Structure 1
Amino acid sequence: MQYWLFKTEPDAFSIDDLAAMPEQTEHWDGIRNYQARNFLRDQVKLGDQVFIYHSSCTDVGIVGLAKVVKEGYPDHSQFNPESKYYDPKSNPDNPRWYMVDVKLQQKFAKLLPLSAIKSDPEITELGLVKKGHRLSIMPVNEQEAIRLLARLTNQA
């Protein structure tokens, strides 16, 4: 099992939106960065744990935990001209963009803010704390994932 951090803008799709989905499960679509796409297509696997991170909002940070319930498959929105994620250069025979399905595991009582993550001396490899790392999908090494989980479950 691996750990990942998936960023989402809560005004587009929040942890509460995931919680409201049937079976608290939804596809994670709209990724339009090749490195993040490669993670979804090649490395994110069934059963992997996903930290859900709210970004581009007032309170940025980790808000919940999900589990990958379906491995990478072509993102259907790339073929839909009505979708904001439409890609006219993508071909169904050789799709450009991929997505996975995630199921909510836990919504944390309190957000773990980016400032707390950055100030934690045991979190040094996570892309969030490195300058210039802005991917919407990023791996989390096991030691740092355990540290984040401990911080999230021990919040007052």
Structure 2
Amino acid sequence: MKSEPDDCSIDDLAAAPGQCVPWVGVRNYQARNFMRDAMRIGDGVLFYHSSCAQPGIAGLAEVASAPHPDPTQFDPASRWHDPKATPAAPRWMLVDVRLRARTRLLPLTEMRQRPELASLQILQRGNRLSITPVTPAQWQAVCALLGQPAR
């Protein structure tokens, strides 16, 4: 899951109540569908800093809730407001994310050099999705690089 550090960094997650935040603002249908249809409580999350000086994985987290409507879609003052969304027919869903571990930064440049991560969707040309699936083998490889247990 990618986040711009100015919006929500790994440090923001660590400082949040219960070290848990709602993953607000996703406005891509494919990324929304990953959260809505594929993510389950307890699933691991690679917390990735994007659109910053050194993008990369900044920590490990986990899905902490079932999917539920993103409240920002209903708020006219929010930059993520969607005038077509209603509480009766929400368009955008989110999951809550809880910190597992802050890690060293695993930079994008380092990930690109690792053959075991060559198929990682975030490394593919043209990938702009903020949420992408990770295979068990990719999860284990990243955890090994970060010196973290692959639970």
Residue identity opposite 2:49 in structure 1:
H
CA RMSD of aligned residues (A): 1.0
Unaligned runs of 5+ in 2: none
Higher strand share: 1
1:128 corresponds to 2:129: no
2:30 maps to amino acid: Q
1:144 aligns with 2:143: no
Cα shift at 1:123: 1.1
Could you say what secondary structure the match of 1:112 adopts? strand
Using the TM superposition, give the Cα deviation of residue 12 of structure 1 relative to its aligned residue in structure 2, in angstroms.
Answer: 1.4
Which residue number corresponds to residue 153 of structure 1? 147
Name the SS for the 2:64 alignment partner: strand
Which structure 1 segments of 5+ residues have no match?
1-5
- Once the two structures are superposed, residues 117-148 of structure 1 have per-residue CA deviations (whole angstroms, 9 ceiling, x without a partner) of 11111112211221111100000001011001
User: 1:3 — aligned with what?
Assistant: none
Identity rate, percent: 49
> Normalising by structure 1, what TM-score?
0.92
One-letter identity of the residue aligned with 1:144:
Q
Query: What is the correspondence of 1:1-150 to structure 2 with a 5 Å cutoff?
Result: 6-108=1-103, 110-150=104-144
> Would you say the 8 A contact 1:127–1:134 is kept in 2?
no
- For 2:79 and 2:8, the matched residues in 1 are separated by 14
What code does the residue aligned with 2:71 have? Answer: H
TM-score normalised according to structure 2 size? 0.95
Q: Deviations over 1:4-60 (max 9, x none)?
A: xx0000011100001111110111110000000101111111110001000000011
Match of 2:65, SS state, is strand
* Cα deviation digits, residues 54-99 of structure 1 (max 9, x gap): 0000011001011111011100100010111100011211211011
Aligned residues, how many?
148
